[in-house]
Structure 1
């Protein structure tokens, strides 16, 4: 028998306890041993919870209990759960977590502390989609060339509604909050930070790069406008909040930002609150993973899959997928060296000579235009919507600064990257 303690009995924690009870027979058959949710740790014992397990607010009672085999951490946060998990590992207890923020900052520290003690985290990325096991196990014979993911269901729902139904950003944000997809303070989702934490976990498994959120390019969807949607529709694009990890020589691009994606690509078809991840391996080619990225039962399914893995194996596999230093020594590409195509939205004075001045600024920064639309804004101004050929990030940033101060661009330019 394996005894489980659940730290944080919210939506996901309650689902874990109840699924372990409701599907007890099939879980035992698959794990080869009975798995029993024994106790849950909560901060407020007066709050009603739909579980039958015993509850306590004394974390030390659980950590000091030698009969508890596996700690399931679902409390959220960074430093407090880090200290709790460190203590659990020091007691020899296996750990399963869904805490992406914790792993974004402490995954390498925890890997060292865990050693041979099982430490699993499938639910930390893309909810019910088994992408962690796919990278660590199913694709382990491959060098991973790239990962592109839609990893935040809130943003994907908002962008889908903006493109398909013409809803503006403020209206769809309010709707998302009312539906429970977005928090009262939505910054973590719409600002790209949630997706960035997940990307860093995947990048460690694929490339063994130890980066923190502060080291990578992160942009959100707050500046997407109806003009951008019109450009997307005109040129057969979707707009997605895209997470990208891509190996380029001895460097790895790591970035999260809105992107125009051709509607012909599989990942562009991931709509609504769903998540999708495209992985390209050097031997297998492209594989695609699709499913619910959040929700109590979907996330709990991934948590319990990890518990079953621990029951089957006993000894822990390498947490981040590498048994030893494989000597690639990959580093994170500096943000200003990223190369891609770009879309620029410029509100300009509608008069003779403006296009020539803009073309001169772009040309001086080695930027060439591939597509262009002009839309009237008012009697004196127009919107210019431009798509460039492949350029370097530092050149685009320099050009944007010059355009903003050119005297003919009337508001701050908007840039969105294009991933063909």
Structure 2
């Protein structure tokens, strides 16, 4: 008998549900665990009652259960050094170590590294003193993008529309724990594209480009959210564009890290603005994007577990990563009040699975079970409804049909996710 391959996924959102869903399809037939997970994952993996930030508890559990591989979903455990501690315990980790993940958990550091590597990005300045930041703004005399230096759970970036709004954003962010330092950036114009890469010490492998819609309102209006929906691939972002990002952005930043003795391993997420002067970096993330992952993984033909294992072993070049020649659309169903104070505890009724349109799947995010066993809302973004199809329009029709059939009081979704499909 061959030894059971045990895999632990860290996280509880729709991204982690998508990871579990894809890993469960592996020919390697892994035994899956998730910490802490959500109700949607229970048919695919054993839930472990551990916080994603309980580094010592996660390592201890992985040792006790003879976990072969830990796939780290969210940014917080990466910033806490979970990958470092797992490696020290002899356990494979899919996710960068703390020093490499600093590209996400410190916006100021990311800007510094981009300047060193001559990576195209917006001009910026970093401040740790409120008055100095305000003086800089007054001298600039225009609206800017305000970013908290540290992790802020998706609420650390404000794209201000006026100088007054920029000043207010600086004051708001610098009073938060994540905003002891603040980065002020020039506003860039263009269309956003998310491009993720599998990365190990020797090799990078791009995934399909996707377009996330962060604004809460139709037509990309209103405050930023964690992401209201996504489509992949992006027709206007060509293989030549991907090659340019690899050559001008990804390889230089990884080389610059290596100069400091830092080896990157896992997923590197590159948030891009496609400007008149070519792609420029909006931000780096040190893990799979959310909701991009929910649209991209259904299009992955290659066994995800084989890719993760090869990456963690720094043998990514041994795996041929291939993609289905289809399109995917993910529609986020959010709770009433999101992105401010979302209402929780609303009953969710999913249609019978036999009534779902073909090639659709629902990934759960902010969900929980009530005392009577009913599925209820427990967060801002509640469900990620994904569909694939021969083209984006077909995928969108399927995704919206299923999203419409979900019953949840006050549910909110954007219905215009393809408005910029050809932009």
TM-score (norm 2): 0.30
TM-score (norm 1): 0.31
Structure with greater helix share of residues:
1
Structure of greater Rg: 1
